[in-house]
Amino acid sequence: MGLTDLLSIGSGSLVGFSLGLLGGGGSILAVPLLVYVVGVRSPHVAIGTSALAVAVNAFANLIPHHRARNVKWPCAAVFAISGIAGAAGGAALGKAVDGKQLLFLFGLIMIAVAVAMLTPRAAAAGNPDVKLTPAIAVRLAGAGLAVGSLSGFFGIGGGFLIVPAIMLGAGMAAINAVGSSLVSVGAFGLTTAISYAVAGMVDWRIAALFIVGGVLGWLAGTRLAGHLAGQRGALTRIFAVAVLVVAAFILWRSAGAFFG
Its pTM surpasses 0.95: no
Report the percentage of the chain scoring pLDDT > 90. Answer: 43
Higher pLDDT, 187 or 256: 187
pLDDT digits (tens, 9 = 90+) for 183-206: 998 899 999 999 999 999 999 999
Higher pLDDT, 40 or 173: 40
pLDDT digits (tens, 9 = 90+) for 59-118: 888 888 888 898 999 999 999 999 999 999 999 999 999 988 999 998 998 898 888 878
Q: Mean pLDDT over all residues of the chain?
A: 87
**Given a cut of 70, is residue 19 above it in pLDDT?**
yes
pLDDT at residue 72, as a whole number: 93
pLDDT digits (tens, 9 = 90+) for 31-57: 999 999 999 999 999 999 999 988 888
Q: Which amino acid is at 188?
A: F
